[in-house]
Amino acid sequence: MLGTEPQIIASYVETGRVKIVFWPVLNHGDPSIYSTLTAECVGQQGSDAFWTVHELLFTNQRDLWTAGRNYYVDTAVRVGVDQATFEACYDSPSSLDAVLALDNLRRQRGVFNQPTFDVNGQIIAGLHSYEVFADVFDRMSVER
């Protein structure tokens, strides 16, 4: 969604018409788990920081296949969170459990492929253009 996200944010999110929720899908083993754990631990220090690291991780997604703990600590520091707090979170089993629990919950909801979008209950599978999302948002706004 990163490609269409700036347009959606400018036209719909900043204008109060749409709220975006990010639900992690861990379909690629350790790289998925530890990138999501990084987002979780950055997010524990602030929701704004979460969205900043969310963008950074997507932008650098090629790095994530081989990234290790040091890479994620550096990433967290780059977005301005406290390093010691981040590392304590990153090393904590309960943080890992929280990430895995969300992943299990999406399976229970029947979501197996990514990306999948749930717009007020309407499921949209796969990547789509900005126009496709805009049409759905406009229709949903009128229906309410």
Partner 1 sequence: MIVLLALLAACSGSATEPTSAPAAAATDTAADDASVETESETAGEPAEPEPAATEVTDQPEEATSTAGLNGRNEDGTFYRGAADAPVTIIEYSDFL
18 binds partner 1 (CB under 8 A): yes
Q: Does 96 bind partner 1 (CB under 8 A)?
A: no
83 binds partner 1 (CB under 8 A): no
- Nearest in space to 133 (alpha carbons), one of 1, 22, 21, 16: 1
Distance, in Å, from the CA atom of 124 to the CA atom of 127, rounded to the nearest integer, reads 9
3-state class of 118 per DSSP? strand
Q: Is 73 in the site for partner 1 (CB under 8 A)?
A: no
For residues 8 and 66, the answer to whether their CB atoms sit within 8 Å is no
Identify which of residues 87 and 106 has a Cβ nearer to partner 1 in the complex.
Answer: 106
Instruction: Kindly state the smallest distance separating residue 6's Cβ from partner 1, in Å.
Output: 8
Residue in 20, 82, 83, 129 binding partner 1, rule: CB under 8 A: 20
**Residue 90, C-beta contacts closer than 8 angstroms, at least 6 positions apart:** 37, 38, 41, 69, 72, 73, 76
Task: Give the footprint of partner 1 on this chain (CB under 8 A).
Answer: 1, 9-10, 12-14, 16-28, 31-32, 35-36, 39-40, 43, 47-48, 50-58, 61, 64-65, 78-80, 98, 101-102, 105-106, 111, 114-120, 133, 137, 140-141, 144
